[in-house]
Amino acid sequence: MSAIVIIPTYNERDNLIELTERLLALPLALDVVFVDDSSPDGTGKLADELTRSHPQISVIRREQKLGYGSAVIEGFRTALKGDYAWILQMDADLSHDPAAIPALIRAASDHDLVLGSRYIGGVRVIDWEIGRVLLSWMSNGYARAVTRLPVRDITTGFRCFRRQALEALNLAQLQAAGYGFQIEVAYRIWRSGGRLAEVPITFYGRQKGISKLSKRMIVEAAVLVWRLRLSRVQGI
Ligand SMILES: Nc1nc2c(ncn2[C@@H]2O[C@H](COP(=O)(O)OP(=O)(O)O)[C@@H](O)[C@H]2O)c(=O)[nH]1
Ligand SMILES: [Mg+2]
């Protein structure tokens, strides 16, 4: 059974080749879909070039910067048109090491959503200033306390879904962007009885390019967790 990896990109040209090499070197059959929002640095064009030599790769090129969450949703919709048993999500900036993918897929054989977790069994974040690690770690504690989601890393963007879990999600209903998007998806799957697992990963701070997720998204996520807790999730 096969797997596909969804990778949203915005100005990731300097990371794309190494990421692709590492993905294609894995000892498993994997398709890859980049979702690019017309990156000014030409990421989309480079991704198109990669598709010519690698049939496993495809690219969705969107005309405007519609945001991280919307890019991942677009990837989900595309993935569900294929017959993939597992659908993965990861960042393009080499923060997520493709070498962890086999472990994520293994855990997804008996779970609906597997989180690549920086915060189980310690804290594994390399090359982030201590303030950012603390903010992320404390945000996770806060989100866990409010939502009761029983996981240590709710905001991780390195994940593997069992196909059925994504099929059951009402993608049109997802509202949050940025970090809130990760929380909302995990919450809906959990609230509808989905089984969650965490697999330890090491997270590497980006070396090339700049972060696109903003402080505003942290505030948005902080409010979202209350909305999720207080709402009765109807459907998922
Ligand atoms: N298509 C698309 N990708 C985005 C957008 N914003 C961020 N990304 C990608 O989403 C991933 C995570 O963003 P990043 O800037 O690394 O956020 P951070 O790790 O929280 O600092 C990266 O692969 C980005 O290129 C967007 O608006 N559109
Ligand atoms: Mg990043």
Q: Is the CB of 68 under 6 A from ligand 1?
A: yes
* Ligand 1 mean position, distance from CA 180 (Å): 13
Q: How far is CA 16 from CA 7, 57, 182, 210, in A?
A: 10, 12, 23, 14
Q: In the predicted model, what is the mean pLDDT of the chain?
A: 95
pLDDT number for residue 136: 93
In the chain the first and final C-alpha atoms are separated, in Å, by 26
Minimum CA distance residue for ligand 1 atom 21: 211
- What length does the chain have? 236
Taking residues 161-174, report their average pLDDT: 96
CA-CA distance, 44 to 53, in Å (whole number)?
Answer: 15
Q: Is the CB of 212 under 6 A from ligand 1?
A: yes
Q: Which helix (H) or strand (E) holds 18?
A: helix 13-24
pLDDT number for residue 212: 85
Evaluate whether residue 164 is within a structural domain.
yes
pLDDT number for residue 205: 95
* Ligand 1 mean position, distance from CA 68 (Å): 6
User: How many Cβ atoms from other residues are within 10 Å of residue 51's Cβ?
Assistant: 15
Q: Is the CB of 10 under 6 A from ligand 1?
A: yes
Q: Is the CB of 92 under 6 A from ligand 1?
A: yes
CATH code for the domain in which residue 67 is found: 3.90.550.10
Beta bridge partners of 5: 32, 88
Q: How far is CA 71 from CA 6, 27, 65, in A?
A: 9, 27, 9
Evaluate whether residue 235 is within a structural domain.
no
Evaluate whether residue 100 is within a structural domain.
yes
Taking residues 228-235, report their average pLDDT: 73
Which residue segment(s) compose the domain that 45 sits in? 3-230
Q: Both tokens of residue 101?
A: 């993918």
Overall domain count for the chain: 1
Q: For residue 233, what pLDDT band results from cuts at 50, 70 and 90? A: low
Evaluate whether residue 236 is within a structural domain.
no
* Closest ligand relative to 60 C-alpha: 1
Ligand 1 atom, smallest distance to 66 CA: 27
Instruction: With a cut of 80, say whether residue 102 has pLDDT above it.
Output: yes
* Ligand 2 mean position, distance from CA 212 (Å): 8
Taking residues 126-139, report their average pLDDT: 94
Evaluate whether residue 163 is within a structural domain.
yes
Q: Is the CB of 47 under 6 A from ligand 1?
A: no
Evaluate whether residue 221 is within a structural domain.
yes
Minimum CA distance residue for ligand 1 atom 16: 211
Q: Both tokens of residue 120?
A: 């189980």
Ligand 1 atom, smallest distance to 35 CA: 1
Evaluate whether residue 125 is within a structural domain.
yes
Taking residues 91-103, report their average pLDDT: 98
Long-range interactions of 202-205: CB distance < 8 A, separation 24+: 202/97, 202/118, 202/124, 202/125, 202/126, 203/95, 203/96, 203/118, 203/124, 203/125, 203/126, 203/128, 203/156, 203/158, 204/94, 204/95, 204/97, 204/126, 204/127, 205/95, 205/125, 205/126, 205/127, 205/128
List residues, by chain if needed, whose CB lies under 5 Å from ion ligand 2: 91, 93, 95, 206
Which pLDDT tens digit goes with each residue over 170-218?
999 998 888 899 999 999 999 999 999 999 999 999 999 998 878 888 8
Q: Both tokens of residue 15?
A: 């990371």
Minimum CA distance residue for ligand 1 atom 24: 9
* Ligand 1 mean position, distance from CA 63 (Å): 16
Which pLDDT tens digit goes with each residue over 44-65?
999 999 999 999 999 999 999 9
Evaluate whether residue 170 is within a structural domain.
yes
* Closest ligand relative to 8 C-alpha: 1
Contact 216, 154 (CB under 8 A): no
